[in-house]
Structure 1
Amino acid sequence: MNYTVAIYSGNIPSTTFIENLIEGMSEKGLRILLFGKKLKDVSYKENVEIIATPQSELPLILFVIKEAGKLYFKNRNKLSKLLTSVKARNKSFRYFVKDLGAILPILNAAPDIFHIQWAKTLQVYPELMQLLDSKIAVSLRGAHINYSPLNDPELAEAYRSHFPKVDAFHAVSNAISSEAQKYGAVSNKIYVIHSSVRESLLTGDVHPKIKGTKLEILSVGRFHWKKGYHYGLDTMKMLKESKIDFHYTIVAQGDVPEEITFLMNEYDLSNEVTVIPGLQYDALIDKLKSSHVLLLPSVEEGIANVVLEAMAVGVPVITTDCGGMNEVVTDEINGFIVKVRNPEAVAQKISALLGKTENELSLMTSHAREKIRNEFSRQGQIEQFHSFYNKLATE
């Protein structure tokens, strides 16, 4: 089956999971188009074509003139509608040209399938829904669905306007699928395809050990209210009061929020808590493997990749029941799960973890790894996306 898929995030290269999708689909032999801002040189297979929009002013203007000329000869009525629409929402000439530079090459290429990786793109470039002669697919991920439209009425309205017209959705969890339906996404057009982990994480033996040593607790994720780090610190306060010997490491990009600094001082946790400002992937995995338990204290998530990675390498996990996390973790079977905003329950689960025998821990982490191998493998994800595109291309 011959068809072209544009995998659009706006940046080239994109995030790791989108790059994995590009690589996987190119291995399947699909012709892939990538549009947007080129951040650095990247090597793809020969069936992946990059159509980058220049960022400097003069090259961008020349690029827009060239692409506008192409569209004029293909469909001057479409060009007229595009210019009218983009001009109406851009008072600045600079942003008018910038938006044209993003949209024109996509309209000219007219891929069979245009797969939008970030749902907010529908609000940023509404002309794609109005003028693009392609099947439109949209990925539903975390923040873009769970809470951004709650804080942004205009985004919510854009979703309500565009979601009913989308040809197919990819959702990272059943929970996010349900959220999207509140904005008009049609249920039978939503396909749940879970995130995946690298196959290399599923190799090697797993021997979790926590007894007789200081308990090393790890949390990973950017500083943001939804990550619930203040609840994590509440738990650490309780552990200290219970005389549990532990150390808590937070790996998070960005400045440490005042609230976190205040709580660390207020709870007298300066010796028990360390904040690391981000790690490269390999270093992060090494840190994960050297930890005794991964804690996800989040208020909201899609499905947190770091939990999948911890389960793959045999590190016990404690997570809140937020977003799609209960689609991954079954309490007391392959990890621990507690209600959100409940640091007392987290402290109780840590005590339960400390009370488990080595055989009980081995069984739990074996179940966790098997869950990842069966439902979150990269090869399985590639096959699901290939079927997703095949079905969309033939409808």
Structure 2
Amino acid sequence: MRPLKVLTFSTLFPSSVKPSHGIFVETRLRELLKSGLVESRVIAPVPWFPSKNPRWGEYAKFAAVPAREQRNGIDVRHPRYLLLPKVGMTSAPLTLALGAKAAVQQLIDEGFDFDLIDAHYYYPDGVAAALLAKWFDKPLTITARGTDLNLIPQYPLPKRMIEWAAHRAAGSIGVCAALMDVLRGWGHEPAKLHTLRNGVDLERFRPLPPADMRVELGVGGEPLLLSVGHLIERKGHHVAIDALAELAKARPGARLVIIGEGEERAALTAQAARLGVADKVRLTGSLPNTDLLKWYSAADVLLLCSSREGWANVLLESMACGTPVVATDIWGTPEVVASPAAGRLVGERTGAAFAAGIEALLATGVDRAATRRYAEGFSWQATTQGQLELFGRIAKKAAHA
């Protein structure tokens, strides 16, 4: 029996220029390939930009991404597509599909006549993949990951395009059940809706001695809190700073480290100064995914104060290092934080509520070994098996058709 040939399609995929971008998509694919039952090629389009000059910042990085590269033995192509200012949100699915069409044809011409397209992120990627699936007469699966179904459908035209793509897809996958509940609520066929959660790399993320990590990283705090993610409002780093200010009233030794980069950096710095905790807050900027292991191990508690999340990988990464979490009780997060060993859920997205959650967690005592054991229940094995079964059924049905 020959291996199943899968075309992985998403703008969320790492490159040599942005090695952490969409790493969760790459990780799921790498785990799937370990089965030996699948071959894959990746098309990960990037927006076209004319200059690599560093003065253009993030835009220059788009231009610097190679047209084709090998990542961990996987052939990855990065065709360009036109992302228009202001109107890009509604035009992106079409320009994305048109930009990738030649790369798809080239794959087929080179002998990789794939059995199905496995797309990640419903909009615009999933809609673009649905167009490609129609043009090349291939079956399609689309994985929903968070804001693609819990935010973007607030806009009428994107919602209509998402609905069309979901009808066109042979299967929809959600990284948490809450995302598939959205499509179920829209009346989509339940048999086509599947929940395959993200796993965690238990070898990469493992407990290291907290005291040693604090010395190596030059950080202290009792307790030491950690908040990880892009510096944007919905990630809630401002709530974490509010929580620190509240917690510091009773625990003056408390410290907060924020890992990430983004538009909110200046505002967060100003907020810490305004609340009198500037000396207790450290912003590290963006760090490579491989460096997070040390920070997770050094911390006492990870905070995730998000307003929206599908399946937050940082939660499992932290727990795999033995560090429990305090997180907002939203969307897929209760499916991750489902035991006292994992941490605590907070019903209100306020500093006071998070400070209370931290206190409740610390009061019961942190058992890092128990937290690690809990995380060990989230390996990739079940997700890989689920993909193999789903992709196999879809490919077989398409072949008979």
Aligning the two structures, in what range does the TM-score lie when normalised by the shorter sequence? 0.7 to 0.9
- Aligned-pair identity in percent equals 21
Instruction: Quote the residue 2:163 is aligned against.
Output: 160
CA shift at 1:393, angstroms? 1.9
Instruction: Quote the residue 1:389 is aligned against.
Output: 391
CA shift at 1:262, angstroms? 3.5
Counterpart Cα distance in 2 of 1:174 and 1:233: 31
Instruction: Quote the residue 2:10 is aligned against.
Output: 9
Aligned match of 1:141 in 129, 141, 145? 145
User: Structure 1's 315 and 345: CA in aligned 2 closer, same or farther, altered over 3 A?
Assistant: same
Counterpart Cα distance in 2 of 1:142 and 1:283: 25
Native 8 Å contact 1:164 1:184 kept in 2: no
Native 8 Å contact 2:149 2:179 kept in 1: yes
Q: Is 103-112 or 236-245 further displaced after alignment?
A: 103-112
Counterpart Cα distance in 2 of 1:98 and 1:380: 32
CA shift at 1:142, angstroms? 1.2
Helix, strand or coil at the partner of 2:311: coil
Native 8 Å contact 2:209 2:298 kept in 1: no
CA shift at 1:122, angstroms? 3.9
Instruction: Quote the residue 1:25 is aligned against.
Output: 32
User: Structure 1's 199 and 340: CA in aligned 2 closer, same or farther, altered over 3 A?
Assistant: same
- How many residues matched? 349
CA shift at 1:132, angstroms? 3.0
Instruction: Quote the residue 1:180 is aligned against.
Output: 183
Letter in 1 for 2:104: I
Instruction: Quote the residue 1:224 is aligned against.
Output: 232
User: Structure 1's 331 and 235: CA in aligned 2 closer, same or farther, altered over 3 A?
Assistant: farther
Q: Tell me, which stretches of 5 or more residues in structure 1 are unaligned?
A: 57-88
Q: Deviations over 1:188-222 (max 9, x none)?
A: 21211111211215656888999x96211000000
Q: Tell me, which stretches of 5 or more residues in structure 2 are unaligned?
A: 16-20, 47-64, 83-89, 215-219
Letter in 2 for 1:26: L
Instruction: Quote the residue 2:70 is aligned against.
Output: 42
Counterpart Cα distance in 1 of 2:211 and 2:356: 19
Residues 271-282 of structure 1 aligned to structure 2 (within 5 Å): 271-282=279-290
Q: Does 1:298 align with 2:306?
A: yes
Counterpart Cα distance in 2 of 1:208 and 1:220: 20
Structural RMSD (CA): 3.2
Counterpart Cα distance in 2 of 1:388 and 1:268: 54
Aligned match of 2:269 in 241, 250, 261? 261
Residues 1-395 of structure 1 aligned to structure 2 (within 5 Å): 1-2=1-2, 3-10=4-11, 13=15, 15-27=22-34, 28-37=36-45, 39-40=65-66, 41-43=69-71, 45=73, 50=76, 53=79, 100-106=98-104, 109=108, 111-120=114-123, 121-124=125-128, 127-150=131-154, 152-201=155-204, 214-330=222-338, 332-357=340-365, 361-362=366-367, 365-374=368-377, 376-395=378-397
Native 8 Å contact 1:171 1:194 kept in 2: yes
CA shift at 1:165, angstroms? 2.4
CA shift at 1:226, angstroms? 1.3
Tell me the TM-score normalised to structure 1 length: 0.78
CA shift at 1:31, angstroms? 2.5
Q: Which has the larger radius of gyration?
A: 1
Counterpart Cα distance in 2 of 1:175 and 1:96: 28
CA shift at 1:141, angstroms? 0.5
CA shift at 1:26, angstroms? 3.0
Native 8 Å contact 1:6 1:34 kept in 2: yes
Q: Is 19-28 or 101-110 further displaced after alignment?
A: 101-110
Letter in 2 for 1:116: A
Letter in 2 for 1:178: D
Q: Is 325-334 or 201-210 further displaced after alignment?
A: 201-210
Q: Is 258-267 or 104-113 further displaced after alignment?
A: 104-113
Counterpart Cα distance in 2 of 1:166 and 1:271: 52
Tell me the TM-score normalised to structure 2 length: 0.76
Letter in 2 for 1:198: D
Counterpart Cα distance in 2 of 1:158 and 1:33: 26
User: Structure 1's 54 and 176: CA in aligned 2 closer, same or farther, altered over 3 A?
Assistant: closer
